[in-house]
Structure 1
Amino acid sequence: MFQTSDSVKETYSATQASAIAGEFRAARISRTALTDFPGPLPRVLEESYCIQDTAIAHWPDKIVGWKVGRILGDLVALHGTDRLIGPIFAESLQRASGDEEESFAAIPSGFCAVEGEYVFELAFDAEPGKTDYNAVSALALVGELWTGIEIAGSPLATINDLGPTVVVSDFGNNWGLILGKPVENWRSRLEALTCAVTINGDVVGTGVVTAFPGGITQSLVFALNCAAGRGLPLKRGMLISTGAVSGVHDAKPGDHAIADFGQDGKIACHRLVVAANSGQG
C-alpha cells in the first residue's frame, strides 16, 4: 500500500518533495507559520507520502508511533482510502502524570487542535513487507490499549482545508501525543469505548469508537499495511493513535481541554500562551 512508483519518484519526489519537506521541517523547528503550501500541491497521496518519507528521513528524532487520520466524503473515492497516517516522534510524546494538567506549545498562527483518541501499543514487531493485515492478525500484535489526546498541529493554518494530500505531506498534521492510562479489559470492551472532550468547560465533541468504518481496529490495520508498504514496518512498543473519536477541536493559546474516557479516566491539558516571536509556539 502506497509503495512509491519509479515514475513518481522521478517526476515528483526527486525534484519537489525534498524542497517541500525541507520547508515544513524548517518551519516546524523554528516554530514559524507558513502562509501557503510551500510548493505545488500534491495531486495524489502517493506524492504526499513521498514528501512525508523525505521529511522523516531528515527529521532529527526517532519515530515512536503513528497517528491515523480520516478521509471523508467524496475524497474517499477520489483517493481510494478513508484513512491516512503520519509519524509521532519521541520528543513529541508526553505521558500524563496522575491528575495533573499537561501543557503543550504550538506554532503561533499555525494549526492546532486536540483530539480524544485511543492508542494501541504493539507487543510484537510487524512482519516486514506484510501488507495484508486484517482485524484478527493486527490485534494479535497488540499488548495494551491506552487513552490519549493527539495534539494535531502544523505550521500551515489551512492544512485541513487543503485536503488529505496536504495533511499527509506535513507528518499527517501531527504535533504530538499525550498518553493517558491503560484501558482495562479492552479486548472485551473494544466496541463500547467512548470519549467526550470539553474546552474551557464546554462540551465540544463526543463519540464512540465504532462511529467510523471498521472502528479503531481498522485504523490499526491501515497503519500496519500502509507503513509496511513504504518500507517502515511497525515495531514492538510503537504507539498507534487511532483517530479522533471525539472529533477535531481547535485549541487556541490559553485553552484548557479535558478528554473524558468514562471509567478509563480523564486527561487534562492546556495550550501554552507564548509570544509569536519566542520560537516556542
Structure 2
Amino acid sequence: MTPQDISAGFRQARLEGRPLQAYPGATVPPDLGSAYAIQDMSIDAWPDKVAGWKVAMIQPTWRETYPAERVVGPVFAKSVWNFEREELGIPIIDGGYAAVEAEFALRIARTIPLEAAFLDSSDLLPYVESVHAAIELAGSPLASLSALGPGAVASDFGNNAGMVIGPQLPMESLSDPASAVSETFVNGASVGNGGATRVPGGPLAAVLFLVNALKARGRTLNAGEWVSTGATTGIHPVKVGDRILVTFGEDSRIDVRITAAGAV
C-alpha cells in the first residue's frame, strides 16, 4: 500500500460516511513528515476548501517516536458550523471515531506572510481578529485512529470532522487564560471542566505552533481562517443521539446533538 492508497482510503470512507475496519495501509506512517505528506495529498484532493485548522497535544508517551509537542489538521468549509441560539445537529460516521472537545477558536484577521518569523506567541496578536467559544468535532472513519498514535492521526486530516463556532469572547482570553473557563456536559452530565489554561502556553501558543508547522509544509494561515487551539475540558467520546452542552462562563454556551453522517 502506498501513501496515495492511504490517502484515498480515508478520503473515500469519509465521502461515503462509511467506517473503516482497519488502517488503510500496511503500516502507520513512522514519522510526522510522512504523515503530513499524506495529509497534504488528501487536502489537495478533497472537494472543499480549507477554512481553518485544529491543533492538538501529542501525549508524552508518543513523543519519543513522534518528537513534537502538538499535531495539526485541516478543517474544511462545509464542516464549519455556526451556532446561533438553537441546538445544532453535527454528523459523525457511525462506527468510526467521534469525540467532542471544548475549545477556544481564533479567527485570523489577515494572511500571515510565509517568510514571517515570530519570537513569541504574543507577536501573533495583530493577526487575530477575534476569539470564540467553539467545539471541535474530532472524527475519523477509523475507530482506532487515536490509539494508533500521532502518525495515524496526522494522516487522516488530524482526526478532525468539523468545528462549531459559538459566541465571541473577550480578547482577554488570550492575555489572561485563567479568565477563560469552560465545562462540557454530555446528556446532561458534566464530563469535564477547565479552560484556556489547559492549553499549554495558552491559545496563542497553539497558533504559533501551527504557523511554524504549516511553514515547514509551504503553507500559512490565511485571512478569515479559524484555528481551534486545543481541548480545554478533555476529549469526550460521543455517539449518534448524544446531546452536548458546552459552557464558557455564565454567559456563553453551545448546544449540539450528534447525528449520523450520510454520503457527501
2:240 is the alignment partner of 1:253: yes
**Given the alignment, which residue of 171, 179, 184 partners 1:192?**
179
1:172-197 Cα offsets, whole Å, 9 max, x none, are 00000110011024345434211110
**Shift of the alpha carbon at 1:231?**
1.2
- The 8 Å contact of residues 107 and 280 in structure 1, kept in 2 or not, is answered as no
State the one-letter code of the partner of 2:184: V
Any idea what the Cα deviations from partners look like across 1:67-111, whole Å, max 9, x if unmatched?
Answer: 00110123224322110100000000100012x111111111001
SS, match of residue 78 in structure 1: coil
Once the two structures are overlaid, the 10-residue window that deviates more, 211-220 or 126-135, is 126-135
The unaligned stretches of length 5 or more in structure 1 are 1-14
Among 81, 90, 104, the residue aligned to 2:77: 90
1:199 CA drift (Å): 0.2
- From 167, 175, 199, the equivalent of 2:161 is 175
Runs of 4+ in 1 over 4 A off after TM superposition: none
Q: CA deviation at 1:132?
A: 4.6
Higher mean alpha-carbon deviation, 131-140 vs 228-237, is at 131-140
Could you tell me which residue of structure 2 aligns to residue 28 of structure 1? Answer: 14
1:135 alignment partner in structure 2: 121
> Aligned partners of 1:166, 1:33: CA distance in 2, in Å?
15
**Contact persistence 2:66–2:151 (CA under 8 A):** no
For residues 66 and 242 of structure 1, what CA distance do their matches in structure 2 show?
9
Distance apart, 1:16 and its partner CA: 1.8
Q: Residues 131, 27 of structure 1: CA spacing in aligned structure 2 closer, same or farther, 3 A cutoff?
A: farther
CA distance in 2, matches of 1:212, 1:182: 19
State the identity %. 35
TM-score by length of 1: 0.89
| Contact 2:118/2:124, CA 8 A, preserved across alignment | no
Q: Does the CA contact (< 8 Å) of 2:99 and 2:139 recur in 1? A: yes
> In structure 1, how many angstroms separate the alpha carbons of the residues matched to 2:218 and 2:119?
15
Pairwise CA RMSD of aligned residues? 1.7
Of 115, 120, 138, 2:101 maps to 115
Q: How many residues align?
A: 262
Q: How does 1:208-219 map to 2 (within 5 A)?
A: 208-219=195-206
The answer to whether structure 1 residue 104 and structure 2 residue 87 are counterparts is no
TM-score by length of 2: 0.94
- Of 237, 257, 264, the residue aligned with 1:270 is 257
1:209 maps to a residue whose letter is: A
For 2:137, what is the secondary structure of its paired residue? Answer: strand
